[in-house]
Amino acid sequence: MLRNVLGKTFRFLGYTVQYGCIAHCAFEYLGGIVVCSGPSMEPTIQNSDIVFSENLSRHFYCIRKGDIVIVKSPNDPKSNICKRVIGLEGDKVCTSNPSDFLKSHSYVPKGHVWLEGDNLRNSTDSRCYGPVPYGLIRGRICLKIWPLTDFGFLRASPNGHRFLDD
């Protein structure tokens, strides 16, 4: 009787560990569901929208300008932020706020990206904390799941004029 109970318990623990490892690998390397909060990505992503974030792009260095990414916050490593990639390493970016009369520019250093929210007036982003190391990127948002009326791929940046080509 005791042997039977111990056998079932160890089998259960074994399956739990196996499925836990599979789930960890799936969420770490493939992607997952993310609930977004805050106004910084409005109008593209609203507060409480649910999106799918794929993680393969960051592993294969396939992040491009215009992509929306989930990143470990440079200010608080316990939280994640959602921002749009405005510049990659070597790109010239506008580092000033839209309301500034004189515009300032800088180059994104090697191994970093420049991130900004689509809601420029209500976003804490690279204009505040500077370029973000590529290693902090957790995934790339590729699909909005909820609300169902907005289901589909995400639209282009409303701030496309901030992308510099020189």
Which residues have a catalytic role annotated? 40, 83
Closest Cα partner for 41 from 74, 80, 76? 80
Strand partners, 115: 85
* Contact assessment for residue 107 and residue 20, using Cβ atoms and an 8 Å cutoff: no
The distance from CA 163 to its chain's CA centroid, rounded to whole angstroms, is 19
Closest CA to 126 of 63, 62, 75, 59: 75
Q: Is 37 exposed, middle or buried (0-12, 13-18, 19+ CB in 10 A)?
A: middle
